[in-house]
Amino acid sequence: MWKTISQAIEQATNQPFTIKHKQQATGGDINLCYWLSDYRQNYFVKLNDKQHFEHFDSEAYALSQIKQCQQIVCPDVITLGTTLDKAFLVLSYIPFESPKSNDWYHLGQQLAHMHKTATHGQFGWQHDNYIGDTLQPNQWHSNWRTFFAEQRIAWQLQLLYEKSIRLGDIDHITQVCHDALLHHQTTPSLVHGDLWQGNMGFYHHQPVIFDPACYYGDREVDLAMTELFGQLPDDFYQGYQATFPLTNNYENRKLVYNFYHILNHANLFGGIYIEQSKAQLSRILALH
């Protein structure tokens, strides 16, 4: 397996590469991750079962789109492929460092610039992709509230229903979430899609984002998720607001946007996230 990966790196970079150091790294709950080095070049490798190749292909495409907008740093995609039984994705290796307060401010600024400059005529993505290990539908749509209610909330509720977990009538909950976005006017921005603190870092004071679940959507979905598992430092939000201020009633929309991620965690992990889904739904219903 490692010989195949080394050969893929050599072919992609047009340089010889022999693994002289291999160290397992942290990389979330889904993939095995490794730091590879020949003491000259360093790479970050994600591994999973062979059928996971489509996940890696989607991630590589999303990283290429973030890279193309030239507003915020993300890892370079070196190569991807399969061995006899594994799929792999090779990225540039970035040794993250502890941030200073100004670094968070710059992250807010750069994310805002990405949202402002990387736009599209419709909501969606060039293909379906993944949020964690869950398929994320991305059929193009001109109406944001319909897109989010149907392809985010209803989709997750249906997946839960197929696990015999029922939070209520799917059509009713979907309509409530649709109506919560009724008077919100937004344009399709390139969003990271899974922007929590574990998917961002800093190197030489330069903000870096990774592990995306990109699509063109309301920029507020990224801001909302940064608050889901505990807020980022205030400097981040100050940097964003100074560059691309949020509009009125964001706090209410945030409940709907984060409902999607809580539902996804309920689908992936069950347990406490099912109860959190019910609690979040009660908050949303209380808006009406």
Q: Which of 194, 218, 222, 235 is catalytic?
A: 194
- HSE toward the beta carbon, residue 270, CA cutoff 13 A: 6
Q: Report the C-alpha gap between 60 and 214 in whole angstroms.
A: 11
Helix (H/G/I), strand (E/B), else coil: 122: coil
Q: Report the C-alpha gap between 148 and 154 in whole angstroms.
A: 9
Q: Report the C-alpha gap between 133 and 198 in whole angstroms.
A: 16
Is the separation of the CB atoms in 207 and 110 below 8 Å?
A: yes
Q: Report the C-alpha gap between 46 and 8 in whole angstroms.
A: 14
Q: Report the C-alpha gap between 113 and 71 in whole angstroms.
A: 6
φ/ψ of 165, rounded to 5, equals -115, 115
Write down the pLDDT at residue 100.
Answer: 84
Q: Name the residue among 225, 217, 237, 238 with its Cα closest to residue 198.
A: 225
Q: Side chain identity at 187, as an amino acid letter?
A: T
> What would the DSSP string read from start to end of 255-286?
HHHHHHHHHHHHHHH-THHHHHHHHHHHHHHT
Write down the pLDDT at residue 283.
Answer: 96
Residue with tokens 């090779």: 90
Write down the pLDDT at residue 149.
Answer: 98
Q: How many other β-carbons are positioned within 10 Å of the β-carbon of residue 271?
A: 9
Please confirm, yes or no, whether 57 is among the known catalytic residues: no
Write down the pLDDT at residue 55.
Answer: 97
- What does the pLDDT profile of the chain (288 residues) look like in tens digits? 999 999 999 999 999 999 999 999 876 678 999 999 999 999 999 999 999 999 999 999 999 999 999 999 999 999 999 999 999 999 999 999 999 879 999 999 999 999 999 999 999 999 999 999 999 999 999 999 999 999 999 999 999 999 999 999 999 999 999 999 999 999 999 999 999 999 999 999 999 999 999 999 999 999 999 999 889 999 999 999 999 999 999 999 999 999 999 999 999 999 999 999 999 999 999 987
Sign, CA torsion 234/238/244/247: positive
> What would the DSSP string read from start to end of 204-239?
TTEEEE-S---EEE-THHHHHHTTTTSPPPHHHHHH
